[in-house]
Structure formats: structure tokens, C-alpha cells
Structure 1
Amino acid sequence: MEPDSLPTEVILTHPRQSLGKVQLDWTPQPGNYLDFQGKTYAVLERRHRYQFKYGRYRLYNIALYVQFAQRPAEKTLVDGRWVVGDATCIYNAKSEIVRCAVNPHGPCQDCRYYEKV
């Protein structure tokens, strides 16, 4: 195991099943996208698993709960994080996972509901 990587189990949320394990050199946050075994998944949740050894707990594994997803073509940087779609629209959810309620699948360009903030 490399010093900056932890064993990470990738778990599909529906239907619940383990897709396998991987060594990652980065820490995926909910809302990030992960390419695994030739498919793209959105990270929904990250759980840490600890082991008690030599009188102390240490992080020994990470579990990522994911769902199949397409990488969005439209992203906007808002306060240091990427959100899906055009963040200048009042209907934009300002989320890494959901674009908006009125046009969740997009695209934002030429959307009939677009209203500037």
C-alpha cells in the first residue's frame, strides 16, 4: 500500500452491491465523479472505517456509496466548488449532483425556464 492511499470499497447504492476495491490517491467527496471499471459513478456518501490497534484507532478503509451517472457537460465554479449547470439561473440548485428542479437533465443553454439571478 502506498503511503498516501487507502483501500477504498466502491458500493453501488441501488441495487446494493459491492463493485470492488481500489487504491485511491485522493479523497472523493460526495458530489465528485469516480471512474471505476470503465463506468462513471457519482459519489453520494463516504464512510470511514476504523481499526483499534495498539491502543488507538486508525483509519484503515473508506467505503464510497455511489450511483451510475453521466459527467455533466456544464459546470460552474461557485465559492470554490463546482456545481452542475449555470449558477446564474435562479432555479439552479447550486449542487454538485442536482442541476435544478425544472430542468434536471439540462442542458441549461436555451432552457425556457432560465431566469438570471
Structure 2
Amino acid sequence: MLVELRQAGSEALLDRLDLENAPQPGRWLETEEQSFLVLQRRHRYTLRNGRYEISSVALLVKPQIRPADAQRWRHGWVIGDPDCRFNARSPLLRCAVWPEGPCDNCTHRELR
């Protein structure tokens, strides 16, 4: 399937890839040269024989290297410790108290 990588905000075309499964928002996509965080996914359809079929997918991405402490949690990715009370449970933000991290050295760390 044709997947277009577009810059989030400006929607400038960054690259076109042929992928079997396009990643969902909140996940990282790593190519040979770069790493991207997928923020939004848009489907494009064509009408063939009276039925709509998916023809391509446009991913709005942000160039970003996956942090070392990012981990899979439930249905997506989380930066830091998801069991901490202050963790945002998001691939974009670690926590409200100490967003730069890492969680290991945080004095405010406590379980939910």
C-alpha cells in the first residue's frame, strides 16, 4: 500500500513508502534514514466497480527519535514509567512534574 509521509503542520510531502501496514497514531515509524512519530492518519479511497477501496494512506508525522525509555503500554507507546502518578501516559510528553526525565532520578515518583 502506498503511504505518504507528510510534515505535521505544513503537510509538506517528506517521502512515499510502500508498506504492508501503515502505523497508527502514537507510534514511531523508523525508515533507513530517519525516525518519525505518527500524529495523524488519513485514508484516501477510490471508487472501483461501484465500491470504495483504500488507495493510499497519508501519515502526518513529526521527525523524532524514539526516546530510550519509551515502551509499549496497553494500546500504544508511553515515555517513562506508566505506573507513576504523574506520568502523562503519552508518546509526546513524559510527565507534568519533570518532562525532561528520566523517571529513575525523579524525587516526585510515586505509584498510582
Structure 1 residues 112 and 78, CA, compared in 2 at 3 Å: closer, same or farther? same
TM-score, normalised relative to structure 1: 0.83
Q: Which residue of 2 aligns with 1:31?
A: 26
Which amino acid letter does the alignment assign opposite residue 84 of structure 1? I
Residue 42 of structure 2 is matched in structure 1 by 47
| Structure 2 unaligned regions, length at least 5 | none
For the aligned residue pairs, the C-alpha RMSD in angstroms reads 1.8
User: Which whole-Å CA distance do the structure 2 matches of 1:108 and 1:28 have between them?
Assistant: 27
Q: Which runs of 5+ in 1 are unaligned?
A: 1-5
Q: Does 1:110 align with 2:109?
A: no
Matched letter for residue 20 of structure 2: D
- How many angstroms does 1:80 deviate by? 5.0
Corresponding residue of 1:86? 81
1:14 touches 1:67 (CA, 8 Å); kept in 2? no
Pairs aligned (count): 112
Partner letter of residue 75 of structure 1?
A
Aligned to 1:61: 56
- Give the 5 Å matches for 1:15-26: 15-26=10-21
Choose which of 68, 74, 88 in structure 2 pairs with 1:73: 68
What SS is found at the alignment partner of 2:17?
A: strand
Under a length normalisation based on structure 2, what TM-score does the superposition of the two structures give?
0.87
